[in-house]
Structure 1
């Protein structure tokens, strides 16, 4: 009876970023934590959990992780979507945390044990002009990273994904009444991007893995042109070249280039990924543990990817909490076809709220060996950071047309 869930509580806190957390407690006093954050729509998930899911959890056996996943997914009838799947992801992750604590083992041991010594990680570097970007890349290399995502400015624009003109740091989620509007133009980006990336390749040499994120902004033909133009740079991957909903667009890109393609951070179920994986249209699938239904479901996505020669690389932004990163690391350490983990770090205030067991050294991450996920939340500290509305930007073309951000 001690494994029965006695309570579940939703915690909304904003230590530098807004986070939605789920705290699940069993009758024997164990506590499991899950992340339900959906940047820019946080309170929708908080309500889904508080008003619809939490009442279903009390009295359930916390050890029945798979049954609970199916109950929340199939039992709701209205399936899928980011709000539903983030809520399910929080429950699933919290239950894995509880199971690890009950067993006295880190979650990766429950998933089959380690298949590698550490998880290869990439960091972000940005700079509006070449000098700023080189300095940012060099800082990352000095920190031990050998894989770096590079984002740069474009002449004639004031904001491109990952960097703003004149900004010392990049924070897309703006506080205030509404989202920031960024202006976008594909033609100058396509003229500038290959040279900007080639210059960084010349600077770092052949042994550093370089990544670049287009953030869904190109048409299929534009994406194919860019992928072809950057082939000599030998990118680790080119990410999100077209809107993720249009799977056939990536077939066109694939036909014209051998540049590795990554996509999937906006996918929430295996059904979103299925066609791309089966057809071999991509090289890396980016579904996030929190947004895609938790550890149970992202492990299924990784297994399907493995059948088709695709590697997993779960999304790991700072707008998901350290709980999500810890879950991703347990998945990565125990899943054969995980290739790399995004590592942005978290705002300084977040470290006042979250105590974490994962570590970084020499370009690799490790989830640690504490029972469960290895993340605990200081509820008193969390209360010091109340929720503040924040929105991701909206992109418009130079003539004012809404575009994909």
Structure 2
């Protein structure tokens, strides 16, 4: 069997997605997600101009060799564009392998380590009262874990708080919108909201919170300490991860668990955090961390150091990536949680899939391969629309991490 074609498909059924579809001479196809939120066309061009020509004629069963070829052969290694492109190829090849073997991908990864994948939803609102109602909405639908984001008095907009509670999408304009941020207002607001949520829903519901890289290490330590009475499952992305030594300072001051890694691209990005046990959950994901093959390397390293998975799963991951993530999640021994933001009906129609949500769990498809595809004809009806992620400034006008 040989690869005869590879199509790069850009579509926007409510938001932009980039999908790679690999075609073989025996008619077996595979799909991979290559979406990089706000920079989709950069990956599409990388695939079209540099990767696709190199795939033609290759044996699709040589997954590891192809991964190494695309990684080491690039010379300019790593980075989100390169690794998202590699991820799309790798994921599509696993899809093909599963179809040829007649098995779902998770069976090729060692089979089930659990019956279902525990997922968390996003409860968000401007006020504490409204947050309680949003948490209740998820609990009523069987969710066992909920991420809680709240508005901050005095700020016109706050990360994670959306007018559309079902399909949150921060990339909202062709040119990045600018928001205003105040760390002081934020730190004074969040703990009281979690006090009310924990009091209302008791000790068993898993609660999470995303700081979104906005604090310094000592500010994050203060927040973590203030949240300890409410037993969060994790505090996500407390600081920008470029300075990984900063996580040691957080560790010295709080026992609130830490999750990080949705912007990581390789195992080397998180090596220190994992091996020195500075985090509790690693949030790397299939599409941004080099595909199923490389994500498994990250999770295997994490398993040796008592770090669990907590993969990113926002709406900028297409159903192709979500399907791939579930096959990894259900097979690894150190699974923690999986983020799950539902897609629009239009997106689900473009990407027909077999995974499903039941009683707080996502269950992967039992079909051979990933159990997901792309309807190319329908995808063509939703042309690309330029969208950018917002940027942040402090109240005095200084640029700040979004």
Q: TM-score, normalised by structure 2?
A: 0.98
1:187 aligns with 2:184: yes
Q: Tell me how far 1:352 sits from its aligned partner.
A: 1.8
Partner of 2:261: 264
Partner of 2:91: 93
Structure 1: 4+ residue segments shifted above 2 A: 167-171
Q: Secondary structure at the match of 1:262?
A: strand
Q: Tell me how far 1:348 sits from its aligned partner.
A: 2.1
Q: Tell me how far 1:168 sits from its aligned partner.
A: 4.4
Contact 1:10 1:22 survives alignment (8 Å): yes
Partner of 2:171: 173
Contact 2:146 2:207 survives alignment (8 Å): yes
Partner of 1:250: 247
Contact 1:35 1:321 survives alignment (8 Å): yes
Instruction: Please provide the CA RMSD for this pair.
Output: 0.8
CA distance in 2, matches of 1:329, 1:140: 20
CA distance in 2, matches of 1:239, 1:116: 24
CA distance in 2, matches of 1:26, 1:222: 53
CA distance in 2, matches of 1:38, 1:55: 21
Contact 2:12 2:383 survives alignment (8 Å): yes
Q: Tell me how far 1:175 sits from its aligned partner.
A: 2.8
Residues 28-81 of structure 1, C-alpha deviations (whole Å, 9 max, x = no match): 001100000000000000000000000000000000000000000011111000
Contact 2:274 2:307 survives alignment (8 Å): yes
Partner of 1:373: 370
Q: Secondary structure at the match of 1:388?
A: coil
Q: Tell me how far 1:249 sits from its aligned partner.
A: 1.1
- Once the two structures are superposed, the pairs formed by residues 90-169 of structure 1 within 5 Å of their partners are 90-164=88-162, 167-169=163-165
Q: Secondary structure at the match of 1:250?
A: helix
Q: Secondary structure at the match of 1:192?
A: helix
Partner of 1:59: 57
- Once the two structures are superposed, the pairs formed by residues 235-314 of structure 1 within 5 Å of their partners are 235-314=232-311
Q: Secondary structure at the match of 1:174?
A: coil
Q: TM-score, normalised by structure 1?
A: 0.98
Partner of 1:229: 226
- How many pairs align? 400
1:331 aligns with 2:328: yes
CA distance in 2, matches of 1:63, 1:249: 42
CA distance in 2, matches of 1:358, 1:255: 41
CA distance in 2, matches of 1:82, 1:168: 28
Q: Secondary structure at the match of 2:119?
A: strand
Q: Secondary structure at the match of 1:215?
A: coil
CA distance in 2, matches of 1:69, 1:154: 44
2:75 is aligned, of 70, 74, 77, to 77
Q: Tell me how far 1:320 sits from its aligned partner.
A: 1.2
Contact 1:16 1:348 survives alignment (8 Å): no
Q: Secondary structure at the match of 2:23?
A: strand
CA distance in 2, matches of 1:297, 1:238: 25
